[in-house]
């Protein structure tokens, strides 16, 4: 057993009638990660997080929190926001957070702190129903942070926020992770995952396409475009190069993918040793976006 594993699923599947929401999903989240679940609409992100937070039962497969069988008590250690936040509309923000504090068996003295973090302290006595959409979302985030939990589960945390709010929430998430907290979040916004997450799992139609660190998913697949005076010599040299994963010939250049831990500098040095001087070297750094779109289209 790996003690660093915070959350793990094994072959999780769930259908709603004939709709397959998730199919055979196995995830592993370790301490300190900001783990993003990325996928288009309806790919099963919310379903996965709902199973994780115990509001939906999986049809098959299993999952655990902190290496133990999950029950309602393990949920008290997790701060969650699933889809839109649901509070008692006729209660004030403070009254609503008091209810959550009671459920999680926390003192009330953390309420002011989380309200200030999301800039709702001045509205603390307003009724929940009088909040704007973005304010409701921020209250949802403050509720998830109540009691400074070790783990936060956030489904589309920046949903409905203004640009400033988006930046603030992302910063909040990152600062939580810096303090050693683990965050499991779902998003369909690629740039968000790229900016915030350390790890990512890509879902499509309920199937897990890929998971790993954001770096490895982008870096391993970034491409170089190279050319030299004599393309034939270059071709021979590239073919015998050990750290090239994928090679493709273009009319007057080569497109290649490097192995995971090799860099363009290494390639350049290798070719230089063979007396080949590159006339062109362009780094096509693939964003998660192109990677994501490629994965989603391929499958």
Cα torsion for 190, 193, 195, 198, to the nearest 10°?
A: -140
Closest approach of Cβ 25 to another protein, in Å? 18
User: Does residue 46 interact with Mg ion by CB under 5 A?
Assistant: yes
CA pair distance 85, 216, nearest whole angstrom? 33
Please, which residue, 91 or 231, has the CB nearer to another protein? 91
For position 246 contacting ligand ATP by CB under 6 A, the verdict is no
Pick from 2, 18, 73, 265: which binds another protein (CB under 8 A)? 73
Helix (H, G, I), strand (E, B) or coil at 75: helix
Residues 6+ apart with CB under 8 A from 272: none
Task: Give dist(CA 242, CA 235) in Å, integer.
Answer: 13
Residue list 153-212, contact with another protein (CB under 8 A):
none
Given another protein, ligand ATP, Mg ion, none, residue 100, with its beta carbon under 5 to 8 Å by kind, binds another protein
Told to check if 87 binds another protein by CB under 8 A, we report yes
Report if residue 46 touches ligand ATP, rule: CB under 6 A.
yes
Q: Compute φ and ψ for 7, nearest 5 degrees.
A: -140, 140
Which range binds ligand ATP by CB under 6 A, 40-48, 120-128, 165-173, 209-217? Answer: 40-48
Is 32 or 160 the residue whose CB approaches Mg ion more closely?
Answer: 160
The SS3 of residue 104 is coil
- Residue among 46, 72, 69, 18 nearest 184 (CA): 46
Binding-site partner at residue 44 among Mg ion, ligand ATP, another protein, none, CB < 5 to 8 Å by type: ligand ATP
Q: Which of 45, 75, 136, 181 binds another protein (CB under 8 A)?
A: 75
- Nearest approach, Cβ of 292 to ligand ATP (angstroms)? 14
Q: Is 86 a binder of ligand ATP (CB under 6 A)?
A: no
H/E element, 87? none
Residue 105 interacts with which of another protein, ligand ATP, Mg ion, none, CB < 5 to 8 Å by class? another protein
Of the pair 25, 118, the CB lying nearest ligand ATP is at 25
CA dihedral sign, ordered 225, 231, 236, 237: negative
Q: Reduced to 3 states, what is the DSSP secondary structure of residue 282?
A: strand
Residues in Cβ contact with 298 at an 8 Å cutoff, skipping those fewer than 6 apart: none
User: Which of 91, 117, 264, 296 touches another protein (CB under 8 A)?
Assistant: 91
**Region binding ligand ATP by CB under 6 A among candidate stretches 39-47, 72-80, 136-144, 231-239:** 39-47
Query: 292 vs 91, 152, 154, 194, 246, CA distance in Å?
Result: 42, 24, 21, 11, 19
Rg (CA), the chain: 23
Partner in contact with 54, chosen from ligand ATP, another protein, Mg ion, none, beta carbon below 5 to 8 Å by kind? another protein
The span from the CA of 109 to the CA of 116, in Å, is 12
Q: Based on the shown chain and the rule CB under 6 A, indicate whether residue 160 belongs to the binding site for ligand ATP.
A: no
CA distances in angstroms from 190 to 80, 160, 238, listed in the order given: 21, 16, 33
104 binds, among another protein, Mg ion, ligand ATP, none (CB under 5 to 8 A by kind): another protein
Which of 12/244 has CB closer to ligand ATP? Answer: 12
**Which positions lie near another protein, rule CB under 8 A?**
50, 53-56, 71-73, 75-76, 80, 82, 85-91, 95, 98-100, 102-105, 143
């Amino acid at each position: 057993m790996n003690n660093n594993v915070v959350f793990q699923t094994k072959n999780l599947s769930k259908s709603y009638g004939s709709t397959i929401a998730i199919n055979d999903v196995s995830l592993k989240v370790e301490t300190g990660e900001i783990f993003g679940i990325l996928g288009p609409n309806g790919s099963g992100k919310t379903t996965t997080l709902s199973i994780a937070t115990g509001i939906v039962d999986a049809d098959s497969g299993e999952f655990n929190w902190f290496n133990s069988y999950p029950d309602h008590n393990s949920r008290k250690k997790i701060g969650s926001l699933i889809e839109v936040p649901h509070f008692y509309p006729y209660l004030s923000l403070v009254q609503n957070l008091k209810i959550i504090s009671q459920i999680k068996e926390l003192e009330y003295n953390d309420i002011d702190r989380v309200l200030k973090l999301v800039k709702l302290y001045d509205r603390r006595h307003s009724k929940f129903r009088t909040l704007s959409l973005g304010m409701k979302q921020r209250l949802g985030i403050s509720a998830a942070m109540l009691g400074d939990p070790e783990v936060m589960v956030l489904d589309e945390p920046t949903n409905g926020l203004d640009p400033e709010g988006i930046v603030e929430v992302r910063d909040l998430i990152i600062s939580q992770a810096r303090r050693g907290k683990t965050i499991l979040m779902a998003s369909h916004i690629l740039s968000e995952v790229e900016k915030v997450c350390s790890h990512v799992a890509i879902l499509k139609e309920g199937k897990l396409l890929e998971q790993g660190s954001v770096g490895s998913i982008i870096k391993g697949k970034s491409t170089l475009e190279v050319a030299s005076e004599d393309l034939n010599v270059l071709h021979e040299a590239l073919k015998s190069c050990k750290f090239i994963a994928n090679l493709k010939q273009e009319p007057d250049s080569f497109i290649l993918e490097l192995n995971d831990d090799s860099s363009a500098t290494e390639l350049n040095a290798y070719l230089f040793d063979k007396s080949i001087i590159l006339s062109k070297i362009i780094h096509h750094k693939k964003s998660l976006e192109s990677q994501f779109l490629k994965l989603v289209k391929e499958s």
